[in-house]
Amino acid sequence: LKDNQPASDTVRVDLTDPDIIDIIHIVAAAGFGVAFTSYGILKVADGSYPIHSYEVGSVASINTVSGFKQCVVVDIDDDDVVCVLLDDIDVRTVEDYDQLSRHDLLLVKRIDVLHPEFAEGLARPSSAVLH
């Protein structure tokens, strides 16, 4: 922008678009939520999965007591990572919880964050060729 002139273009956001609504929920959870601890919710990481390189905003997966679940990384502090869940987690086997819901925050360790392809619910694209 020249001479601090305001931009003449505007951006329209379709608030009926489910993808836009999901992004709003993720941002709200990251900004206003309190993270649950992952003790008893995640399977013990033994280093058998490949290391996943990620940053804030990355989609990832975590290995929970009810399978692999998708999440979005929203904060990284040394070895601690905060994720917004993209799937519900049934944790009735864990004493402190009944269920963690989509858009809840979960505090995990770096080693617990896996590549998003591990998460259940991701289907192989119909155009993909298997060899």
* Residue 131 pLDDT class (50, 70, 90 cuts): very low
Q: Which has the closest alpha carbon to 120: 81, 66, 47?
A: 66
Domain boundaries, the chain: 10-118
* Three-state helix/strand/coil letters over 9-51: CCCCCCCCCHHHHHHHHHHHHHHHCCCEECCCCECCCCCCCCC
Average pLDDT of the residues in 124-130: 53
According to the model, what pLDDT value does residue 100 have? 84
pLDDT > 60? residue 49: yes
According to the model, what pLDDT value does residue 121 have? 61
Query: Is it true that domain 10-118 has CATH number 3.40.50.10780?
Result: no
